[in-house]
């Protein structure tokens, strides 16, 4: 089970972002065939905008071949690190309290 396939954006077989190259290597298809099928889908009326939107979403979701995680997972880890650091309290040492109203009473 160690030879489990994972879907990555290709770093070698890429034209724009490597999504179609990664899909073709995942399914062991010819990358030219995948690109031609995608262009046909993109030029089909009613499906074209969905195909373009799906490609943009796949760029964000599918991690690059040499990247440790996808774009959303990287953003999630950055957000989690920032939110945990904001919750910590700051402790100030050597501060004395003074009654503000005391000066007004002397007055």
Contact 19, 59 (CB under 8 A): yes
- Exposure string for 23-45, b = 16+ CB within 10 A, e = fewer: bbbeeeeebeebbeebeeeeeee
What 3-state DSSP class applies to 19? Answer: helix
pTM above 0.95, yes or no: no
pLDDT tens figures, 3-18: 677 778 877 877 888 8
State residue 64 phi and psi, 5-degree precision: -70, 160
Say how many Å lie between the first and final Cα of the chain, rounded: 82
Confidence of residue 102 (pLDDT cuts 50, 70, 90): low
- 103: part of which helix (H) or strand (E)? helix 100-106
pLDDT tens figures, 38-73: 999 999 898 889 998 998 898 888 888 776 666 666
């Amino acid at each position: 089970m160690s030879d489990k396939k994972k879907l990555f954006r290709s770093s070698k077989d890429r034209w724009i972002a490597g999504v179609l190259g990664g899909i073709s290597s995942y399914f062991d298809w010819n990358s030219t065939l995948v690109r031609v099928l995608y262009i046909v889908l993109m030029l089909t009326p009613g499906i074209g905008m969905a195909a373009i939107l799906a490609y943009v979403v796949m760029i964000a979701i599918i991690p690059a071949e040499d990247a440790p995680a996808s774009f959303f997972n990287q953003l999630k880890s950055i957000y989690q690190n920032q939110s945990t650091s904001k919750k910590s309290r700051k402790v100030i040492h050597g501060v004395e309290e003074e009654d503000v109203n005391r000066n007004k009473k002397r007055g």
